[in-house]
Structure 1
Amino acid sequence: MSEEADLRERICFFARSLFERGLTSGSTGNISARLSDGGLLVTPTGSSMGRLDPARLSRFDASGRLVSGDKPTKEMPLHSAFYETRKGAGAVVHLHSTHSVALSLLPETDPENVLPPLTPYAIMKLGRVKLLPYFRPGDAAMGAAVRGLAGRRAAVLLANHGPVVASKDLEAAVYAMEELEETARLALLTRGMSPRLLTEAQVSDLVTTFEVDWD
């Protein structure tokens, strides 16, 4: 199997897994992944992540030109901004996962670091997660907001919309997204209960040991 055929199959596999576990629903959510030639494979607009056809994924060449497949997700400005500002990014995942969206709605959520330091893996896989303001879906201003971070964040949470994660490859981006949603769920479950958080020293140790985006 060629590199591209394999990546097409893996995108559909992970998308279906996310859909079947309720991390996204209906025709929401999108995934992109980079090929070794610099091109991208992207999930099409208006498609269910539970029923993607590998042959119909949108295919972009290295110059950003759509060369085959269905019309891509309207969130391409968001995906493109991560690839432009994080040179090591090999995949981007955007979902409308319930607990993450819920966290984005609460006024007490820290916009500079939306996830409290509850577990080490959220810090290791995500670093600080920035809350961006609300934008209309597909608005190019979302991409501009990500570019404004100058590559300092691997994950953002769009207010009233959902999380976006970039990572080195498809599997890493999916796993990081799952960690974000589960940590958001833990944050909501323990809100108001004075949970025992990781200490500053423990967080600093994780940031140093795993070279986490934290500044």
Structure 2
Amino acid sequence: MQFFQLSTLGDMKNPELALTWGTPEGMEMRGYTLGRGKPATPHYPKRARVSLREDHAGIQLSSLLGNADNYLVVHKDVKQVIAEHCQGVEVEYLPFDLYDHRKRLYSRDYLFINPIGTRDCLEPVASGVEIGPEGGVIHVAQCVLDPKKAEALPALFRPVEKPAAYIVSQPLAEALRARGFTNIIFTPLTFSAAT
């Protein structure tokens, strides 16, 4: 089965598309949980608010709202497809109110998708994983899957060495494509030939 990395930036060449800005108001320093697969629910505001980027004029809504925070921000219709494929997988689905550049309510149809935890799936040498002096990962050149580790991977997950990345299975990618969702960009991943 093939796997794909899902971009959280979306189509950066289209200036008309809306981009979101920062963490939900009220999460402050806990916003990292949404981009790293840590449980965000304990810190999530009851009435979460997210704004469009003030330095970007685009207002066109799409199925995936691009952002530079490594957050998976999608329309509720995309969430439905992901949830169908992720039964039995720990994933947080966290809705929010989206506000425009003038601080007016723009939409209540979006949410964060936060797959909890990470999966050991990369082949470290082929992926160019660099380990720092304290033993932590400091860089991953690219996500190259280890075929031995890929047999039991779920439909949506994060790799251990790069928890800010989102990887989806071929069946989920095909289901999302079939629905014609906009601004969802996949990069096919390769498997390592190393044994």
TM range (shorter): under 0.3
TM-score by length of 2: 0.27
Structure having the higher helix fraction is 1
Greater share of strand residues, 1 or 2? 2
Which protein has greater RCO, CA pairs closer than 8 Å, 6+ apart? 2
Structure-1-length-normalised TM-score: 0.25
